Structure 1
């Protein structure tokens, strides 16, 4: 017989194990509490018997056997009386409220070794069955309420035997009540546990099934799918949120890979074709100087392709979150000033005023080479696109501390990027918003700068100006870097 799927789950197995352990502990608790209750009542019964024996001994000392007999007769007639018996040396009952005893009870002086059965005067078996049926409404209780007692057997100097005892019916009834109460309580607890397991387990299984269904869709190729989050904030939600973050990361990487493949096929086709044409044209040259010129142009074109591929590789590594680049304390002031000094002749040649407003003593945690490369790309773009845009092209490089970050801002007064969607696309790989593509470049400058800022835990934003564009690079501030 095959088990249902719900019983094959880890939750069902753990629940069954917990219920088994709970049952074992509960049964042990029932027997322990019952035995403890009986021991306590038995101890109280023995204390009562000892007090009665002391009272009878005092009576015997004061008035001898006649006063002892009268005392026993008086106490025997009281409601709920203990067991009292006076017998001759041969064990024949002379006085008391006990009609008969289990054989051998009077043979040993002191406490009886175990509970013994007895019969009171006027208490026949028919009367016992009638009382059991009336009180408990079941014949089975007769065995549970059979007359049993414990007693203290004493011998007088004249060899007469005195027995003082107490019926165990009350402790036995108490034991039965305690046991039944514990069993009922544990039964209710077990039933509640099963109901809770059933409903909570079904809810958990439904959530797991929904996660499995979403996982099957994602494995089928739908990377836009996400695992369901109920909003309860429990471990299932935390797991789903982490997996959704991972899936979003995988989707971004796949989309980036697709874009890289498309852009490489589109943007590198032209330089490769140009390289081939130059090599083919060189075959028709006859002069050595012409050959040299053709080879130099080919090498320059090849170097540009190598730089492009190196930039693509660097961006991919940084965006994937792993890189061999090491970080340390970097003097950002020195790096930015060095880039500004490097591009100052280039800007002057292109008729662009390059202004650097860089205070001293600003440092960040990062990689010097990567930061310098990204700043160079941004400054190069600003100079390139502001040249010739108006009568007084100008690029301003500013660096300042802000709350929680160090902000590097490169601002130009060129044509800028008015459209918000275009500003968002400008940081993607191989994206060149200039349709004529008259400006040199591969469209990887801002993309590399964005990857570098992501590697450093910072941000890169494009803000519109009137006129021009402002590129903002925000580095996180750390106390140990200041």
Structure 2
């Protein structure tokens, strides 16, 4: 399993979309909280400035300017960091009291609010501070401006905003990371399930999917598929038993009838003997079909090769080619063997010879006069991909869409049904023998013609 497989998986993409939508929602919430925090802070700041102005008005109305002076001096002597700043001017606009400059560069806002920037000393350093101020008349021509810095509000807002952004980023990273590992785990479980299914498809019909240790939907899916496999296996076994019973029950009387006809043939002559000979050939074809069908059923019963002997493939292929050379010469077909090295495999020689003979018989049957058939042996080593036997002909070949179907019992390509005789069991038997020996059979194109690729496990010589 590669990283790109996890990234492209449906689970990971769903989690990424979910985390992205969630992060966008959180971001909108962060913006809303930031706006609410800023609005609330500035509203409280404005209310405190207005309250301070009302206090100055009350002091002036009761104690006149000396009282206001005393109040401001008391406030300026306060060690509070976030204190108020004052400016009291007379009727001519001249500064009377306070620590604000007489004419700062005010920025005017709505409802009489003012804003300005002023440098303050902080631990011996000059720091520019933003202020919010509001003017109000005290009476007798005197006016007051009360200001308060809001840099701390801005910093707190930035801190809140940065914190929320950090939380959102961490959530996004953790969500995607967690989604990646969750998708990898889910994909790994699906991959194991797919591997088990592939093993079953390749010939282990008696096997079932493992459900131990699985949870949730994977376990439920495996259990349902096991039930489906049980039902399919039961149906297939039923069909095979019916066909096997028919073949087995008919083989004995058909053999007896064939022998009786053969004895009768010896007593006849002329046209009657010729007709009887044709009937005997039909009986032989039926017996051949029944024997092949029973042999396939035996090989497909779930058994595998246990104690086979070492078989030399080059010698077997040479025997098979020599067996079919006279027929190939009769049909003007060039049959060649390319096997430069011997190859050993574990198996039953008679079954392997029958497998190669079936392929060669089909190749000669469908290759036109003047064509060629080539048999190749590619030797592998123990533990590698094994030995490869490739038999290529120059016949019409098999369409790609039909290549899987021709391994089914009694299946024949439509174009060959009326042209050439056959019972549709040849390649079924080839596949059954190959799988019995832990091998495989694949069909390809020889451009033109058909290429049959047989793979068999290699053993050390």
- TM-score after normalising by structure 1: 0.47
The higher-RCO structure (CA 8 Å, 6+ apart) is 2
Q: Please identify the structure whose Cα radius of gyration is greater.
A: 1
The two structures have a TM-score, normalised by structure 2, of 0.49
